């Protein structure tokens, strides 16, 4: 799993055709925009949990919790640079 900090209007590319744009937020809410093909289902976790009636299936849904930042853990460490490809997608 990848965890990162992002700034407003930064985006993530997933594959060649999925873009997640971070629009900002207030308090405990974050606004994002997901640009993906119509064939790819996108479902919020709360909506998915409401639809699942079987307790065994519900127990298998991943849960993520806020973790406190640990900047001292990364102090002085250098991380290898990754090769980044820039893809333009005219839609």
- Rounded to two decimals, the pTM is 0.57
**pLDDT, position 39:** 95
Stretches in the chain below the pLDDT threshold 70:
1, 64-91
**pLDDT, position 48:** 81
**pLDDT, position 87:** 59
Please list, in sequence order, all residues whose beta carbon lies within 8 angstroms of the beta carbon of residue 27, skipping any fewer than 6 positions away.
none
Torsional class of 49: left (φ above 0), alpha (ψ -120 to 50), beta (otherwise): alpha
């Amino acid at each position: 799993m990848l965890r990162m900090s992002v700034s407003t209007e930064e985006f993530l590319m997933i594959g060649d055709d999925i873009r997640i744009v971070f629009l900002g937020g207030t308090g405990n809410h974050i606004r994002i925009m997901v640009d993906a093909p119509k064939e790819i289902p996108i479902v919020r976790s709360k909506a998915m949990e409401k639809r699942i009636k079987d307790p065994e299936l519900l127990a298998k849904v991943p849960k993520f919790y806020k973790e406190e930042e640990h900047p001292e853990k990364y102090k002085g460490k250098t991380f290898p640079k990754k090769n980044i490809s820039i893809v333009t997608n005219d839609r």
